[in-house]
Amino acid sequence: MLSRSLSVSSLASAIEGQVLIGASGTGSTQLNDWLRHDHRLNRSILFSDETHIMQGEFILFVTGRLAERGLTRVLEELSQKLGFRYEVQVMPISVAALLTTKWVRPRIRVSPEVQRIVLPGYCRGDLDELSRELGVPVQLGPRDLRKLPEFFGQVSRRDETYGQSDIEIIAEINHAKDLSISEIEETAEKLLRDGADIIDVGCDPGSTWEGVAEAVQHLKSMGARVSVDSFNPREIVAAVDAGAELVLSLNSSNRSLADELDVEWVLIPDEPSTLAGLASNVDYLEQRGARFRIDPILEPIGMGFARSLNRYYSVRERYPDAKMMMGIGNLTELTDVDSAGINTLLLGYCQELGIRSVLTTQVISWAQTSVRECVAARELVHFACENGVPPKRLDDRLLMLRDFAVAKSNAEDLEELSKQLKDANYRLSVIAEELHLVASKLHLSDADPFELFDQLMDTQPRNVDASHAFYLGYELCKAYTALTLGKEYRQDEALDWGILTREETDRHRLRHRRVERKNRPDSEANSK
């Protein structure tokens, strides 16, 4: 039978608890003290999206026989950390993930001191009904018992304000004149879905795009806010007349347009590598009461990057109340590195300096999700700056290559699990730089997935048909990827790629397809 095993980490005693709180590796004595004692964490920052524990609370944890050992190990440490009392009640079933509320009801024993009941995360049924019948609040715990520390608020330092931001994201459609109207609309729709606030229509220097007004009109009809990126007066006038609200960019070469157009401008220096002409242009617009934001121009690494950061700082010191913008594409598009880290760092700089808009692009392959990254980054840095805390243990959406945390397990527990299992379904896990495969009376391990599969074949298993082999190969590939990158692996669940995560679909479809093929008429089957 095709195994759809419910993750060894969620089923078995192959688990070692790990309280994931605090940090290391900082030179700040104050920060180390804060992290060590958690005193600011408890006073000024509230947990959210977590389950709170009252001091001295008595909690009843329900599990199956296979998970008892691992659950107890986690709770011993966690209860001391959080100050709650507990009881582990083991149901007469091996796999806790198979529990239902109706099955649990006649078998659970609730003493008068119990204040809360926590069931395994995979348990199915009506929790409200069970709570009414037992007279005690009932809730589902995490699917993976190693996540109990996180479940009880030991990771997140977020409060209910998390998700707020004040940085505007302008997303450019590059070389828009080379695209059809439908292509422009399709690109804009994606950028808006990803979280862009303004769609920037990118024009090309050296030519005049006669269709810019039509493009702006179509974008406005979609409900989009629109800016235009051009120095060409004809393009700018046409775009503004069509509804563009922001023009990138203006300097001494075209500032006279501000005398006739009521629109917001992005001011840049006359010489991008300096601040030459910027003060004169600011005075020019201020005298006319024109709206503007300043962009001192971010330079690529190796071409004045450090100096350009200093220009932003200098402009803020000279114009403390001025609106500012940063075009971040010169770094994300021109650096051979995944864009998420760069976007986060730059938005952190913008947040601290009061730069409230960024212009981003998604041209190069490694920057294809820049808008989504900027959305997550602006929320992260806003919370950090508003609360005076490091942007750590707050949000895992930008941890795409590596995971937020990887729980500890040990091979000895897997060995014990293999002795207790009664079925031949295969459970996969990653422990100590090796892949592990467990079934009833079977425990195999190797760092090489091919070697591990060879070991399995040497046992002459009867249940490994073509679809099952495909399934095992798929899961082994995921497990090997997790092993390589140090990521968390949970069987039958997607690897966590942050904002890029694609949830797993029902693995039972392999079995269904096999049955369908088996039931075909011989003539049809043989014709394939």
The CATH number given to whatever domain includes residue 100 is 3.40.50
Most confident of 29-33, 161-165, 393-397, 428-432: 161-165
Asked whether residue 162 is domain-assigned, the answer is: no
Output the pTM of the full model.
0.73
Answer yes or no: do 228 and 328 share one domain. yes
Answer yes or no: do 222 and 292 share one domain. yes
Asked whether residue 159 is domain-assigned, the answer is: no
Span 409-426, average pLDDT: 83
Asked whether residue 160 is domain-assigned, the answer is: no
Asked whether residue 11 is domain-assigned, the answer is: no
pLDDT, one tens digit per residue, over 87-119 is 999 998 877 767 889 999 999 999 999 999 999
Answer yes or no: do 382 and 285 share one domain. yes
Q: What's the Rg (C-alpha) of the chain? A: 29
Answer yes or no: do 372 and 457 share one domain. no
Answer yes or no: do 360 and 437 share one domain. no
Asked whether residue 356 is domain-assigned, the answer is: yes
Asked whether residue 527 is domain-assigned, the answer is: no
Q: If you average pLDDT over every residue of the chain, what do you get?
A: 84
Phi-psi region of 229 (alpha: psi -120 to 50; beta: other; left: phi over 0): beta
Answer yes or no: do 116 and 174 share one domain. no
Last residue of a domain, one of 387, 403, 419: 387
Q: How many domains does the chain have?
A: 3
Distance CA 94, CA 97 (A): 9
User: Hey, what are 217's tokens?
Assistant: 């009109």
Task: Tell me, rounded to whole angstroms, the distance of Cα 526 from its chain centroid.
Answer: 47
Answer yes or no: do 377 and 417 share one domain. no
pLDDT, one tens digit per residue, over 332-384 is 999 999 999 999 999 999 999 999 999 999 999 999 999 999 999 999 999 99
Distance CA 430, CA 399 (A): 20
Asked whether residue 8 is domain-assigned, the answer is: no
User: Hey, what are 387's tokens?
Assistant: 């609360």
CATH number at residue 228: 3.20.20.20
Find, among 22, 59, 19, 13, the residue nearest to 147 by Cα. 19
Selected residue with higher pLDDT from 405 and 74: 74
pLDDT classification of 32: cutoffs 50, 70, 90: very low
**Which residue type does 118 have?**
V
Asked whether residue 228 is domain-assigned, the answer is: yes
Answer yes or no: do 131 and 194 share one domain. no
Answer yes or no: do 120 and 172 share one domain. no
Answer yes or no: do 54 and 118 share one domain. yes
Parent domain of 425:
411-518
In this prediction, residue 525 carries a pLDDT of 42
Last residue of a domain, one of 331, 352, 387: 387
Answer yes or no: do 373 and 481 share one domain. no
Span 442-468, average pLDDT: 90
Answer yes or no: do 262 and 295 share one domain. yes
